[in-house]
A and B are shown apart, each in its own frame.
Chain A
């Protein structure tokens, strides 16, 4: 008897209660707030919308989709991991992607998610990096998250992660963050109406956050890892 599709696995993985290490990453927001480039709620919303449209939709989403499809094939997963690695410019962005991906992988290994232990072995042997977008597609597929939910799930976790950082950096309040999240729903829904780009057309252009993460590397006083 086949299992009834359920939204519950997606809810489990979209919740900040799920341990993923995400709380330690601001993805450039810390530098931008510290240097007053992102001073208020309007700027936060603009920043996140740019992340969604200029990187997530044209890059992460396709990787997540491909990893979901390749979730039983460690060779294909490693190829996807290499693509992400080669196309991610700043050191702190790559480092954040590795650390979040590995945190997720280790938790899933302990939960007994199929192939999590084997892929962690690949990372330990330096045969793979464990980039976050690949781990999301791979581990969500092997945790019974429905395919039609992975894009909303991924976009939601991206938004919530950056909003949480902005809130802890003091430039938005708890009500503002919910207002922004609701406003971004329309953007996300529009983006996921279209099919993901094929891998040969992947691209991303988010210079503000990339440069912010590069500048973050030399900041002594820091709350976040990027």
Chain B
């Protein structure tokens, strides 16, 4: 884990969440916050809105998290750059949050909505999720891309919408397993909360260790 915090608290894990626009990254975070807090893990969030502060403001107004634990970082129209080639401002924002709230167990860094080619710098995060959704088309896993192939955890969200848009969810899963090998996949419906505990279990095993 990246950060050294003064005091006796363990360093906070840094989790990246990437994925295309509208795949449900912010909705996923809204589900993860209470689930993590329920296990006694303090959460802080850095958002990378593309043009507005919409995601940051949505989380601040959600009532799920102390608004001071949410920071928005502008990416200058380069969402890839801000999480990969030059993640310095995201690192800075995460450092500030951990220094202000030393009991933070996880800092979630939400990428700006992007395409399938985004990846996170391993100097920025300890673990990263890539979120796609059933309504975006069932051919997405077959298209591969580094987000789908190389993320630590692939989340296929909005499973409830699959029948309404003609997406073959089972085929999505088969294709994802084929391109990812042993790397895990979780199917979620953030509207109902299905699959959220499975994600928390993966985070617990991979980066929280003692949660």
Contacts and interface: CB of A to CB of B under 8 A. Distances in A.
Interface of A: 17, 19-26, 99, 102-104, 106-107, 110, 124, 164-165, 168-169, 220-225
Q: Chain B interface mostly helix, strand, loop or mixed?
A: loop
B145 to A, nearest CB: 22
B74 A224 contact: yes
A21 B92 CA distance: 10
Contact of A223 (B77, B86, B92, B99): B77
Contacts of B89: 21, 24, 99, 103, 225
B92 A103 contact: yes
Interface in B60-91: 73-78, 81-82, 85-89, 91
A17 B88 CA distance: 12
The 4 lowest CB-CB distance pairs between A and B, nearest first, are: A103-B88, A19-B86, A168-B77, A225-B74
Interface residues of B, number: 22
B88 A222 contact: no
Contacts of A26: 76
Nearest to A103: B88
A22 B87 CA distance: 11
A103 B76 CA distance: 15
A102 B51 CA distance: 24
B5 to A, nearest CB: 12
B183 interface: no
21 contacts: A20-B86, A22-B86, A23-B82, A24-B74, A24-B75, A24-B76, A99-B92, A102-B92, A103-B88, A103-B89, A103-B91, A103-B92, A106-B91, A106-B92, A164-B76, A168-B78, A220-B52, A221-B51, A222-B51, A224-B77, A225-B89
